[in-house]
Amino acid sequence: MADIVIMPKLGFDMAEGTLVRWVRRVGESVTKGEVLAEIETDKATVEVESGFTGVVRQQLVEAGTSVPIGSPIAVIGSADEAIDLSKIAAPALGAVPAVAAAVPAAGATPQPATAASRGLSPSGRAVASPLARRLAADSGLDLAKVHGTGAAGRITRKDVEAARGAPVARPAAGGGPSASLPPLAFTPGPAVVDVRVPRSRLRQAIGRRMTEAKQQLPHFYVTHEYRMEALMAVRTQANAYLAEAEGLSINDFVVKSVALCLRQFPNLNASIEGEAVVQRGEVNVGVAVAVEGGLLTIVAREADRKPLRLLAGETREAVARAREGKVRPADVEGSTFTVSNLGMFDVEDFIAIINPPETAILAVGSVREVAVAEAGVVRSGLRMKATLSADHRVTDGVEAARFLQTLARYIENPAGLLL
């Protein structure tokens, strides 16, 4: 029985392809795996291999035609069989111009295709492939002035590259003939297989919570950049008096600053219960911590009331227990706001998903040395970006912006955090 060749999908966002050239003509034999045609998308020209062995009985699409993916483009069968396209191509042929129901056996003289006007559509627009149009637009070329060498004068990628002066080959050094390169060869290695890895219970739980959060919470995002020179200097001075294992981290300063700031923004230290917003009395800041198999949120309880050194020590001990698999319920329950910091991985900025039932989360990036222009003078400065993700059911952009501005007063004037 004859087989139908369809326009393949050659990319995630491909909707149609242009048949640039038939490599095999009607009546010629083709083997599975041999190149049957060249197809052009908006990104590249690709050789399409035949998925069948037989004789090319009919080409359903002329060269230079754009065809939706999945549409029939050719029929491959044996040389002497009679072919009924209505049976083997239905219902996909609905998208293809009508063809004769019965195809004569190979050997019959194929009818010549109607010639299109030389490189122009009926409207007078230059006929070109999508990729050629994109390249021409990028180069500022007028396609009407480009000579097309494709079917019926169609302008191809090579025509555009030639018109804009793209070199086809580089001469060898010294002006002599081009040096011939040895043919490329590839020796297949051992067969590789897909590996099915079960998700851990922790990863499944994270997936469920984050999916619910993104589906049910209307997130919005606001980013602010902080001056970090003062904080870095104060941290260095404080750590000079502490044992290395007891040193204060940048995140310790951020968590304490957030806790003090949340006193003034109760909607961000809250949760939704039914039709009401419950503003929490305690400020318990969650700290996102990477552990084997996933992520845990360690809770810094009453972070607005505790001294910075005590807060940092308790958080450090809880993180150690979590990574040793000895976490306590109090270590991970009851957070009212979360801080997620990827600065230690040199991440400049990112956005985080709110941790239900909380209403906001702060994503903190790395401290970077940047060029800063102030009063007409360029100097070196230290900056850090933080992005607040908030729930639009309880707050809005203005309040989120004010929160980040208030946070700057603590982060950029860190001496008070040590008191």
DSSP state letters, 233-250: HHHHHHHTTS-GGGPPPH
SS3 of 79-110: CCCCEEHHHHCCCHHHHCCCCCCEECCECECC
* Alpha-helical runs (H) found in 242-396: 250-262, 308-323, 329-332
Cα–Cα dist 140/122, whole Å:
24
Phi/psi at 137 (5° precision): -65, -40
The set of catalytic residues is 392
In DSSP terms, 45 is beta-bridged to: 40
Rg (CA), the chain: 33
Phi/psi at 44 (5° precision): -165, 165
Cα–Cα dist 218/275, whole Å:
16
Quick check: helix, strand or coil at residue 183?
coil
Cα–Cα dist 178/236, whole Å:
61
User: At CA 98, angle to CA 93 and CA 102, rounded to 5?
Assistant: 90
Which residues, including other chains, have CB under 8 Å from residue 303's CB and lie 6 or more apart?
Answer: 255, 256, 258, 259, 283, 284, 285, 311
Two structure tokens written together for 195: 């590996």
Contact between 129 and 157 under an 8 Å Cβ cutoff? The reply is: yes
Q: Could you identify the residue written with the tokens 């004010």?
A: 402
